[in-house]
Amino acid sequence: MKSAPAPAPSLSSAISGFSFGLPQFSASSLDDAQNSVLGDAGAVRGMVMTADSVDEKPRPVHKVSAEYPPRARAKGVTGTVKMSILIGTDGAVERVKVLSAEPPGVFDDSAVQAAKMWKFAPATYKGERVKVWATVPFHFNLS
């Protein structure tokens, strides 16, 4: 049988009764720090997370297909480019990094250009929109 998780400690109650000798420093100010450290919802603003750590993952709402490089098409070359993209709180792609490409250097530029034009429903964490890194593969197949 699982037991209920222990409540988070209150930093101010753990040291109540002590005088720090500093007028600007009180035990109640530690509660503010605790909220930031232990997950106050307002603390997520400006945070950059991964797709696995958010409550709601970003969802593509507008995809742009990558252009098949003419030389690769003519030679019958296929491949995949795996990218990490930074999705902003507005759903726009802010940065793109190529993680791997097979074959290297053939489809990279085309995949990056397409990824930059994608639009997402933003990720959320504790009810707030957050920036998030997500991994996206682009497959180049002749069909």
Asked if residue 9 has pLDDT above 70, the reply is: no
**Number of domains within the chain:** 2
Tell me the per-residue pLDDT of 23-63, one tens digit each, with 9 for 90 and over. Answer: 554 445 444 544 444 455 455 567 789 888 899 999 999 99
Domain containing residue 30: 19-43
Query: Parallel, antiparallel, or unpaired: how do β-strands 128-140 and 123-125 relate?
Result: antiparallel
Question: Do 68 and 92 share a structural domain?
Answer: yes
User: Does residue 129 have a pLDDT over 90?
Assistant: yes
pLDDT at 38: 42
Taking the whole predicted model, whether its pTM rises above 0.75 is answered as no
Give domain status of residue 88, yes or no.
yes
Q: State the average pLDDT over residues 8-25.
A: 48
Q: Are 28 and 64 in a shared domain?
A: no
**131: CATH:** 3.30.2420.10
- Positive or negative: CA dihedral 48, 52, 55, 59: positive
Q: Domain check: are 81 and 28 in the same one?
A: no
Strongest mean pLDDT among 4-13, 16-25, 88-97 = 88-97
DSSP for 61-110 reads: EE--PPPPPHHHHHHT--EEEEEEEEE-TTSBEEEEEEEEEESTTTSHHH
Q: Are residues 60 and 115 in the same domain?
A: yes
- Do 65 and 104 share a domain, yes or no? yes
Instruction: Calculate the average pLDDT of the chain.
Output: 81
**Window from 31-35, 61-65, 74-78, 139-143 with minimum mean pLDDT:** 31-35
Answer whether residue 91 is part of any domain.
Answer: yes
- Please give the pLDDT value at position 47: 78
Inside any domain, residue 2: no
CA gap 85, 39 in Å, rounded = 25
Q: Are residues 37 and 59 in the same domain?
A: no
Across the range 93-117, mean pLDDT stands at: 97
